[in-house]
Structure 1
């Protein structure tokens, strides 16, 4: 069977046009969507990711609030910033750019975000909702993959889906979302023996392992 490569850039462009139209409607109703992004430290990759998010906001007409704080900022100060943003009516979504410095408890910080502003879907309330198919915000990357699959017209139900990578950000939530679609899901990870024996059986292969050339013909 010939592999089908999906054009994510084309879908992203189409979605941004749709989002901008929806934002314009909201603005006529007196609501300007606002996204706050918190960056702790000066990780080069994180700066690029944050820059991309700010650019996406600009393209869609969303107001972005960029909060960059030093790497030695205390956990208490980060939590205080989140508390202020939770109460700010101009902020409708809050993102914490990961990773955080080692002296900050990631889970405590993520749990501090108001559930209805947790647009990354990392709060335990939203994570738990994935199990029963009822979450306010699904995690962004798995949701993006789901949208990409929908563009192919392939019916996910009954398909053998193999996910390579078992992170809390992509692999695990992706598996839960596909189970809700009645796919047969296999999750492979660093301890999986003979990876190729699993991937060769996949009708749909999703890879989020951060290792180049992990999958070969």
Structure 2
């Protein structure tokens, strides 16, 4: 069996076209309306720059020097919060050490927090009957992808590898809300636990940041694998001398899984 490749780029293009139609309809009713989302990037981390390049297809980038102070950053955010022409703000994480990520993400107005990183939006993900509006983008995108591919979640065993506040944590809760039985594996999980739970998982979402972390012999036939890991490995054929890969060894996993993206870069 060879897994059906989940084409994240095609799904992304389809969703983008749908959103464009909605914007066009809004502009007919309100000709003055021009949606604007601002991405804030501090410094030039390669992984952050990669994500920003993908987002720039639709959004505006504001870059600040890596040495910006906490006070300056909060002042910049206050200006964007009060700018009525800005409808959304995304602070690209991680931030340099001198900046308090929690204070900065919480400084973004809740209604403009398009990445869902503020404490109020994160808390809504974990509340049982909350009306979710602004959910962290990666987990929300994964849920959209699973729905698009008609993946059954209710009653299934799901494993999330990683427990970060912005991917693994919310991912597990979103899967749980859709009826899956969720196990979160992380840095304190034992090799035996990884082996057991991965082998029994119907759906696997990996976001640990380790290239080749999951191989075909780790998973059961017919499972669905979503790979959102971000790793750089040496590749002399590339101008930079490296290339970005996920956590999953695609060559082996694609021979076992029913659905698996080569790398979730859409």
TM-score by length of 2: 0.75
Assess, with a 3 A threshold, how the Cα gap between structure 1 residues 119 and 144 changes in structure 2: closer, same or farther: same
**How far apart are residue 150 of structure 1 and its match?**
0.6
Give the equivalent residue in structure 2 for 1:115: 110
Q: How many residues align?
A: 210
Residues 148-167 of structure 1 show CA distances to partners (whole Å, capped at 9, x for unaligned) of 11122222111111111111
Structure 2 unaligned blocks of 5 or more: 217-266
SS of the aligned residue for 1:67 comes to strand
Aligned positions of 1:1-217 closer than 5 A: 3-28=3-28, 29=30, 30-55=32-57, 57=58, 64-132=59-127, 133-193=130-190, 194=192, 195-217=194-216
**How far apart are residue 97 of structure 1 and its match?**
1.1
Mapped contact 1:34–1:65 kept (Cα < 8 A): yes
Structure 1 unaligned blocks of 5 or more: 58-63
**How far apart are residue 25 of structure 1 and its match?**
1.8
Mapped contact 1:34–1:90 kept (Cα < 8 A): yes
CA distance in 1, matches of 2:81, 2:110: 9
Assess, with a 3 A threshold, how the Cα gap between structure 1 residues 184 and 2 changes in structure 2: closer, same or farther: farther
**How far apart are residue 3 of structure 1 and its match?**
5.0
Residues 168-196 of structure 1 show CA distances to partners (whole Å, capped at 9, x for unaligned) of 11110001111111210000011111212
SS of the aligned residue for 1:128 comes to helix
After the TM superposition, which segments of 4 or more aligned residues of structure 1 sit over 6 Å from their partners? none
SS of the aligned residue for 2:56 comes to helix
Residues 114-173 of structure 1 show CA distances to partners (whole Å, capped at 9, x for unaligned) of 000000000111011012242320110001110111122222111111111111111100
TM-score by length of 1: 0.91
Mapped contact 1:127–1:135 kept (Cα < 8 A): no
SS of the aligned residue for 2:96 comes to coil
Assess, with a 3 A threshold, how the Cα gap between structure 1 residues 156 and 101 changes in structure 2: closer, same or farther: same
The answer to which structure, 1 or 2, has the higher relative contact order (CA under 8 A, 6+ apart) is 2
Residues 181-215 of structure 1 show CA distances to partners (whole Å, capped at 9, x for unaligned) of 12100000111112121101001111111111111
In terms of mean alpha carbon deviation, does 84-93 or 5-14 score higher? 5-14
**How far apart are residue 44 of structure 1 and its match?**
3.1
Mapped contact 1:26–1:32 kept (Cα < 8 A): no
